[in-house]
Amino acid sequence: MQNKKRNNLELDYYLDDELYKIIVKYTSKTKKTYRMKMTIDKKIEMSIYKGYDINTIIKFLDKNSDWIKSSSAKFDKYIDYLNDTLGIDISELLNAKSYLYLGKIYENNGNGFNYGLFLEEKEKKEKVLTNLYKLKTFDLDNPPNLVIKKLKGKWGSYNRVKHEITLNLYLLIFDVEMINYVIDHELIHIKVFNHSKNFYYELSKRCPNYKKIKEKMKILSLVSERLVALK
């Protein structure tokens, strides 16, 4: 099955009797190449040279069949972890039957859910990120300025020139422990700008279980990536 949407192409691809939804995004780049990634709902996104036809795309998928199968197995484990350990049903979230806020599941009416607008209003009223940041910096002689905005590809950053920490608004999807981990991470960059052994030594002092939090956040980031993409 093929479905064209704007400059994209959606098609069904079967591998070992399992159906994968393929989202092909044609690029304007002249370089004849392609990239592939799998999302938490096991869709495969392809960024590909606009000159490639359907048969070529299928050949690329066949060529990467081992990667698809191994990625699928990995994501099955992630989905089981989300269901069994965190009580998160991916299908309900993606169908807007529920939503995540501060790591907890809330029922929704299923009529769509715009996380950007929802979290902007929540931060405006409850100031969760702002208050957590204040708790972490109240005893600093010269605390960095705080900026909260939607970021792509990172949860926080520290700007040495401006002495400013930026937190991603979408952190509000996660629980307080993970938010505090990101704040600690960025505050340590004031002292240690790179990710050297010394950085992780300092991080372990502020956040002794950071490795477990980081692993949990890695999986939940795959979830938030899909939720944020929903409009």
Q: pLDDT tens across 50-68, in order?
A: 888 889 999 999 999 999 9
Query: 26 is in which domain, residue-wise?
Result: 2-84
- End-to-end CA distance of the chain, in Å? 24
CA distance 33 to 52: 9
Residue 10 sits in the same domain as residue 124? no
Residue 100 sits in the same domain as residue 78? no
Tell me which amino acid residue 200 is.
Answer: Y
Contact 20, 11 (CB under 8 A): no
CA distance 113 to 91: 14
Average pLDDT score, the chain: 89
Residue 37 sits in the same domain as residue 142? no
Residue 141 sits in the same domain as residue 45? no
pLDDT of 37 reads 92
pLDDT of 231 reads 45
Q: Give percent of the chain above pLDDT 70.
A: 94
Among candidate residues 85, 71, 66, 73, the one with its CA nearest the CA of residue 38: 71
E-strand stretches of the chain? 2-5, 8-15, 18-27, 34-38, 44-49, 98-101, 104-107, 145-149, 156-159, 164-168
Residue 97 sits in the same domain as residue 64? no
pLDDT of 72 reads 94
Q: Which two structure tokens, joined as six digits, stand for 106?
A: 């809330």
Among 32-46, 70-84, 105-119, 177-191, which stretch is predicted with the lowest mean pLDDT? Answer: 105-119
pLDDT of 22 reads 94
Residue 112 in this model has a pLDDT that exceeds 80: no
pLDDT of 95 reads 85
CATH number at residue 162: 3.30.2010.10
Residue 194 sits in the same domain as residue 211? yes
Residue 168 sits in the same domain as residue 214? yes
Residue 67 sits in the same domain as residue 94? no
pLDDT of 30 reads 64
Q: Quick one: average pLDDT of 96-103?
A: 90
Q: How many domains does the chain have?
A: 2
Residue 110 in this model has a pLDDT that exceeds 70: no
Banded pLDDT at 29 (limits 50, 70, 90): low
Residue 22 sits in the same domain as residue 78? yes
Banded pLDDT at 230 (limits 50, 70, 90): low
